[in-house]
Amino acid sequence: MSAGNSRAVDSNQQGPHDHLLSTVTRFRQDDRFRKPIAPFNQEAFAQVGRWLTGHENDWILDAGCGTGVSTCELARRFPDTLVVGVDRSEQRLRRQKTTPENARFVRADLVDFWRLAAAARWRPRAQYLLYPNPYPKKQQFKQRWHAHPVFPAIVGLGGQLVCRSNWALYVEELALALGLYGIDCTRTRVSTPEGLSAFERKYHASGQILWELRARLAPSDALAQDTRR
């Protein structure tokens, strides 16, 4: 593989955000996310539900799958498990021409998808969050998943959480956020050049340090709430 040319994450934030713990605590204590579910996302979720029938407690979520490279790779690595790749961009999803039989793509907003899955008491084997937009500027903090009101639904959905990022601070913040839920995690460097996603391969080729977080999330029926609130 030739050397990549991806720039490293540039941030004006040098450590965990000052409001991290207070923000995560507030959303944990009041997990009633009142934003209405969009009808489009309701229908997309229903379509996935029909495909997953009988497997709602043993599937893999590839959250923010982009062009679907990672979804297909996960499906190949876990041939006996159904893998769902979710992304909000139809244009990105259309770039994946060949899909394994145990994989499906759905165009939906992840915020609504996570909430609907938690409300339906689906229990994934694993949730993969591969190279999410880190929103590295300090003022963008609330756009990171662990600082978003949907975070309780992510945790409450359960399964093994696998997050990879080329920004160590993102992984550190996520670990701190999970700690407030009493969840332990491991953080390691990723060194496999083949990677799970196109981003990972590109960052690896660019000589960047890649980080992985793994945590076992305990499902919470308390989060199977009325999503209309």
Q: Is 2 exposed, middle or buried (0-12, 13-18, 19+ CB in 10 A)?
A: exposed
pLDDT of residue 222: 46
149: in domain: yes
218: in domain: yes
β-strand partners of 214: 162, 186
Domain that holds residue 197: 37-223
86: in domain: yes
Q: Count up the domains in the chain and report the number.
A: 1
132: in domain: yes
14: in domain: no
Q: How many CB atoms lie within 10 A of CB 83?
A: 30
* Prediction pTM value: 0.92
DSSP state string for 199-222 = HHHHHHHTT--EEEEEEEEPP-GG
157: in domain: yes
What does the pLDDT look like over 64-110, one tens digit per residue? 999 999 999 999 999 999 999 999 998 888 887 789 999 999 999 99
pLDDT of residue 225: 42
Q: Identify the CATH number of the domain in which residue 109 sits.
A: 3.40.50.150
11: in domain: no
**Does the structure show a pLDDT above 50 at 39?**
yes
3: in domain: no
pLDDT of residue 98: 82
